[in-house]
Amino acid sequence: MSLAKESGFDAKALSRTGFKAADNILSSWGCTAQQSQNILKLSKSSYHKFKATPETTKLSDDQLERVSYILNMHQASSITYCI
């Protein structure tokens, strides 16, 4: 069973929102598109497709876990450095 189903959330909505949030955070950290693709474990074509048409975003459990790590690091640094 997938993480989205176990948590009771809609997988498409979770993927779309998670990708947008992670991509915005990675951009604010100064990551290039290539670095973001590597961190999120996305192919170049998938990354650009998701950016152009977010409603097509479908992330695997591993990719959702990576998004979770990014969101948690962002929150921790915001608290630590009062950003």
Q: What are the pLDDT digits (tens) for 38-63?
A: 999 999 999 999 999 999 999 999 99
Dihedral angle, C-alpha 60, 54, 70, 6, nearest 10 °? -40
At 8 the pLDDT is 76
Location of structure tokens 């999120």? 40
At 6 the pLDDT is 67
pTM, two decimals, is: 0.86
Percentage of the chain modeled with pLDDT above 70: 90
Confidence of residue 5 (pLDDT cuts 50, 70, 90): low
